[in-house]
Structure 1
């Protein structure tokens, strides 16, 4: 009989306890079915497609990837692998799918092949098409499936045979039933895919959209010819050629993105807008409630426009525009139309982030709106945080008809904070909630009443493992700035144990809220605490959830604001918790790694050791959309980049005595924060005579999701921190 695994091993093999948990829901408008993904166990990476039949009260598997591949190993095409890296997807099998409007048919890729599932019957079959297939999506009527293969946008009839269409000029498609809708007109051109910037920074992971009538497809043309080329090599395999990637670093040229409308009858209509002034295509929405709706942004991101598309001519018209002295933000789920044709958007106004329908705000303080989840006949379903940033709820706001016209209410409200999200279809909603009160995620199928309130109809089971430890964070606000913090002490700690060495464990930057009312979000911090630390997670200014001013406080001063708030929180908490301020370490990854490097180099009077994971150390090496939003264009703001970078002369001049132990960790295969960041930082430290350690991760990307790597990375960090702070091994 074997004992329980250690937390690092369990955390790694369960992929942070996400395996076995249901996710990615679709609900049929007739209220009969809930479709979702779930792997068979808490350690199985292969996601299956499931159907919950509410009328019969049973769950069944619609698609099993192992059966569909007859036990063969899954082979990922390069474009699919890139899509998963951008979306931080590390599981296997059926990791995503799309359905028709009736949720009768689902389409998904597997090993570059195209499969469709008839969801009522639970049967799945392969469609004979030219591959490798990326991002297949059924038409709303369920009769066609569009997909991308080798940069071409293709379409196939669901009832197709293996007879090739007469109009398909591609000889490689002989014996296939699909045909090309959009053919690349250059070696660096693709149709129907999201470019790197859209997927990595804008949250737009798709590149084509079906018309509501299923007779046309609106597709993005991406030309990467203007983008500089970088090379990602694997030094552990010198016999292999480096990978060539298009990476738009700050101040350099982006990919050129345009749109065209392709009719299934062979017609093409190019969409026209001022791409010179508004080069970023942030969002596309097309529903039966109105014409196609685009959100485009200026390069400096201080201006964005909402455009409608004339599908006959391709001409666009501005229906709204947003401007901001710092930056404008694209939000999930918007822009969109209400059923009666009013514009739904999220915007900053009067110090609050509000939900608008037309010109009318439906919300106000204290709600801080985060995303639109669904738009009904009378209401909008959205997520928001309130006075407490860590409590993220699902809300309804009514814009006409029944209910509290103009008011809002929380869905699934409990007597304690949660982190909630929802997917709605017809009369049904799947409400997913995490809390500090229980481990994992609870998913309930509910029916929302027209006038408010809801009724639970079913619960979707989870196969996820329960952690071998329990997180016990205390969520507090620190200091006069009221910085949200989670403080974690070792299990069994008593006051007689005295002050503890401190480990700051932040992300601390944009889009990276860590202090949330979710048990699993604090598991790693609790494990570090159980090694003998008082762990502090602080969400300073720049992190999301409180107000526009809170998020935009780091405009042009990312380093100063982020670092100052960590110190402010640390000192403010010292009066209430057993903190030994003579032994303070900090660890972080990505922006958190950058912040850890800042802490050890610029404030060694406060911080005594740092684990610097995948840091963005030379800010000119990171991408355009992210870096220029906060710091401006490097040619126009060179002093800002120098002051905020770790490796420039001015940036390193902020490094003061004494030297503090530094552990640099970076994946050599990282194509987001490339390893050049860590190597340049190491070289600059060496030139300055500053000792440090370097841990290269062979074959690891920005996710570091390999089981052995994830497990041992935790153990090595603890060993380094204890050595550096003089703690017993």
Structure 2
């Protein structure tokens, strides 16, 4: 009897351990409770063969080095940093909650990090050997977009829409004094951060001058965002240039610290153009800038005199019948101020090109159909360059090395999957964090000279003993063109029985710069997808033509007709699903957000016979309401492409809606403004069509934080109510 009781208890415990995910776990557990074992904030110590990272409590900086056979030692603690700060700034008070996550190595003995006291904020340079502060710069606690000069003597930062420079010694310098909020200086929010723009300030190599964006958006229409927190709701207007309307005017200005003088680069007319790929020459005498026309089909890579602002020459031009999309600054070859790398997809795949500053192409460094995703640097003598690129039809990420002189390329990682790589200063050691659909996280150190590998972490499946994840598979489906293979993913319901019929949930994005299916842990899916499979759904995702990591021609089929080829490919996925014996073809639903919301509504109204239920979050409803930089790239101006805009406008198709549709929007959305969903709701009313609508009053384009649990519960409940039964 006791044996039977014990067996019952053990069985019950095991069964209890294999519970389905909760909605909270499905929302954040992927990054917390179920995150595979990992190394936190890894960094190669500059000019050494040693690696640093944080401990699990975020209170210590740990070190492993080749010298000690990669054994772990404590290098610096949070308490040591706090003591040094108190000693350096006795008039301020510090209570570091954890070791700074965003630390960096200035040199092999100096850590750079930011620390906030009760009075000021500081950019700190800490000597890890002496455990003291070598230098520190004081900035306002309200400072944003701090940018340190190369010699660490100055830090430039933004005070709202103006630039301030704080020196290591002496008074601060106010670079700009614009009181009109429509004049924005030094911000990375220029051209709405398209074209790879992620900064608005660039220090010259000698740290004596500051180059910055000056954005004039006074002529751009104001767009209201209603704030609901006050008793009388307030309007917080933003500048939002819609497709075909007046755009912002941007210039580049050079500020000389010694003379306090400014010059503006003479980038010419028309004023409505895009300034991209902003790069100082190594000698600081020139600035290189990609000047892209508003039509986004003609790029000129120009050189300007940094002292006068005068145009010097156009190095090369890039044109396209669709669009040119520059995304990266120039990368000069170390020790050679006349050679640089430029990234372009002009020959079909985004790859590296070696140019001289006279504009002559020295070598195309592309390799097969590899798309460069991350440039990592050069080896000690700048003979080779290293980068992460795609493989396996975009599913994998591998490490590549290319010899600049010959263009010979070698794949340095070979196991199929996703390799996230950090490379040391001289590119001889690689930190490789690898995952695949069967590997949660394997972290190794690879010596590129002798090919020796040292294992640091081999993570176990974090779900074992906690929950049983449903089966997932990656496979390919022919696209609507009959020749391209599309990467697809299916997650089967829990306790899958092929003799049963299951409802289907199609999760879709479909637009450029996004890839949903990858050879990585969980296959690129969110844990919410697995949660829905545990609830009894077949969860299906397909990366249609138009999505990322497959090259120029794969993406550019969307030009001037957003949604058309994307939908055609998604319907090929539906054809596949309908052939499966376990799919209930009368119960197919679709869910997507942003461009995916546009796709979800488009599929619902264009294929009402197929989709019974849809959920569309933050959906683009009519591309004429979307902003210029993104919208005109893919659709041209409304007056240039009236048929394209009309055929993709969803309000005119609301009368075709048959199934249940829930639209969700953030009331503070500055990306896909709420007017989109309002237009569709009004069209449904006019057509006599019922549609469900839910608004998150305080959220922008995405619902973040704890409220995302509410969002996911709402989505799950909607499908359970109208699709599952």
TM-score range, shorter chain: 0.7 to 0.9
2:711 to 710, 713, 720: 713
**Are 1:584 and 2:588 an aligned pair?**
yes
1:607 is aligned to 611
Residues 530 and 217 of structure 1, relative CA distance in 2, 3 Å threshold: same
Corresponding residue for residue 364 of structure 2 = 361
Mapping 1:141-180, distance limit 5 Å: 141-158=151-168, 160=169, 165=170, 177-180=171-174
Q: Which residue of 2 aligns with 1:690?
A: 689
Deviation at 1:24, TM superposition (A): 6.5
Q: CA deviation at 1:697?
A: 1.4
What is the Cα deviation at residue 668 of structure 1? Answer: 1.6
Please say if 1:276 is aligned against 2:270.
yes
Whole-angstrom distance in 2 between the partners of 1:214 and 1:136: 15
How far is the alpha carbon of 1:419 from its aligned partner? 5.2
Structure 1 residue 641 displacement after superposition:
1.4
For the residue of structure 2 that corresponds to 1:438, the secondary structure is coil
Asked whether the equivalents of residues 27 and 426 of structure 1 are also in contact (C-alpha less than 8 Å), the reply is no
Q: Does 1:309 align with 2:304?
A: yes
Distance 2:195 2:116 in 1: 26
2:661 alignment counterpart: 662
Residue 482 of structure 1, CA deviation: 1.8
Q: CA deviation at 1:600?
A: 0.9
The whole-number CA distance in structure 2 between the counterparts of 1:482 and 1:356 is: 28
Is 1:190 the counterpart of 2:200 in the alignment?
no
Is contact 2:124–2:137 with CA below 8 Å preserved after alignment? no
What's 2:89 paired with?
Answer: none
**2:73 is equivalent to residue 58 of structure 1:** yes
Map residues 433-444 of structure 1 onto 2, 5 A cutoff. 433-439=434-440, 444=444
The change in CA–CA distance for 1:717 and 1:129 in structure 2 (over 3 A counts) is closer
Match 1:347 to one of 340, 344, 349: 344
Contact 2:142–2:159 (8 Å) recurs in 1: yes
Deviations 1:35-72 (A, max 9, x none): 66x7957xxxxx88956464674355676999799799
Structure 1 unaligned spans of 5+: 42-46, 75-91, 166-176
Q: Paired residue for 1:642?
A: 646
Q: Which residue of 1 aligns with 2:622?
A: 618
**Which deviates more from structure 2 when the two are superposed, residues 223-232 or residues 49-58?**
49-58
- The CA distance in 1 between the partners of 2:283 and 2:447, in whole Å, is 24
C-alpha deviation, 1:326, in angstroms: 0.5
Q: CA RMSD in A?
A: 3.6
CA displacement, residues 530-555 of structure 1 (integer Å, 9 cap, x when unaligned): 21111110100100122211100111
Offset of 1:277 from its aligned partner? 6.5
Map 1:46-445 to 2 at 5 A.
Answer: 52=63, 54=65, 57-58=72-73, 100=106, 104-108=110-114, 114-121=121-128, 127-130=137-140, 132-158=142-168, 160=169, 165=170, 177-184=171-178, 186-199=180-193, 201-235=194-228, 237-265=230-258, 266-276=260-270, 279-286=273-280, 288=282, 291-316=286-311, 317-332=313-328, 334-339=329-334, 340=336, 341-358=338-355, 359=361, 360-376=363-379, 377-400=382-405, 405-414=406-415, 416-418=416-418, 420-422=420-422, 425-427=425-427, 428-439=429-440, 444-445=444-445
Distance (Å, rounded) in 1 between the aligned partners of 2:55 and 2:221: 39
Kept in 2, the 8 Å contact 1:100–1:141? The answer is no
Question: Distance between the aligned counterparts of 1:272 and 1:524, measured in 2?
Answer: 51
- Per-residue CA shift, 1:203-253, capped at 9, x if unaligned? 312111112222222111122212211121233644452322112222222
When structure 1 is superposed on structure 2, of 359-368 and 123-132 the one drifting more is 123-132
> 1:575, CA displacement in angstroms?
3.3
Structure 1 residue 460, shift from structure 2 partner: 8.1
Partners of 1:8 and 1:711 within 8 A in 2: yes
| Distance change >3 Å, CA 532–CA 35, structure 1 → 2 | same
| CA distance in 2 between partners of 1:213 and 1:302 (Å) | 35
1:495 aligns with 2:494: no
CA offsets, 1:69-119, max 9 Å, x none? 979999xxxxxxxxxxxxxxxxx9967567757783525475995322334
SS in 2 for 1:558: coil
1:544 aligned to 521, 541, 548, which one? 548
* CA distance in 2 between partners of 1:592 and 1:535 (Å): 15
Give 1:182 shift: 3.6
The alpha-carbon deviation at position 436 of structure 1 amounts to 1.4
Query: For the structure 1 residues 349 and 192, does the alpha-carbon distance in structure 2 shift closer, same or farther, using more than 3 Å as the test?
Result: closer
- Judge conservation of contact 1:27–1:103 (CA < 8 Å) in 2: no
Change (3 A) 1:49 1:210: farther
CA distance in 1, matches of 2:37, 2:324: 37
Unaligned runs of 5+ in 2: 1-12, 86-91, 356-360
Counterpart Cα distance in 1 of 2:111 and 2:177: 27
Residues in 1 aligned to 2:592 and 2:532: alpha-carbon distance in whole angstroms: 13
What residue in structure 2 maps to residue 702 of structure 1?
701
Deviation track 1:287-325 (CA, whole Å, cap 9, x = no partner) reads 637743322311111111222332222223321221111
Alpha-carbon contact 1:289-1:337 (below 8 Å) kept: no
- Aligned partners of 2:595 and 2:620 also within 8 Å: yes
Distance 1:419 1:233, change over 3 A: farther
Q: Could you give the per-residue CA deviations for residues 105-135 of structure 1, whole angstroms, max 9, x where no partner exists?
A: 5254759953223344266797433452112
Find the aligned partners of 1:524 and 1:606 in 2 and give their Cα distance: 23
C-alpha distance in 1 between matches for 2:628 and 2:310: 28
In 1: Cα distance, 2:238 partner to 2:120 partner? 24
Bigger Cα displacement from structure 2, 347-356 vs 602-611: 347-356
Question: C-alpha separation between the residues in 2 aligned to 1:93 and 1:234?
Answer: 36
CA contact (8 A) 1:148 1:154 kept: yes
SS of match in other structure, 1:541: coil
CA distance in 1, matches of 2:341, 2:214: 26
Q: Secondary structure at the match of 2:123?
A: strand
**Are the aligned partners of 1:308 and 1:319 in contact in 2 as well (CA < 8 Å)?**
yes
Moved more, 345-354 or 359-368: 345-354
CA contact (8 A) 2:161 2:181 kept: no
Per the alignment, residue 358 of structure 2 pairs with: none
| C-alpha contact 1:39 1:463 (8 A) present in aligned 2 | no
State the Cα deviation string for residues 435-476 of structure 1 (Å, max 9, x = none). 21233x555554543xxx755567489999768554642111
8 Å CA contact retained: 1:622, 1:673:
yes
Q: 1:278 Cα deviation (Å)?
A: 6.8
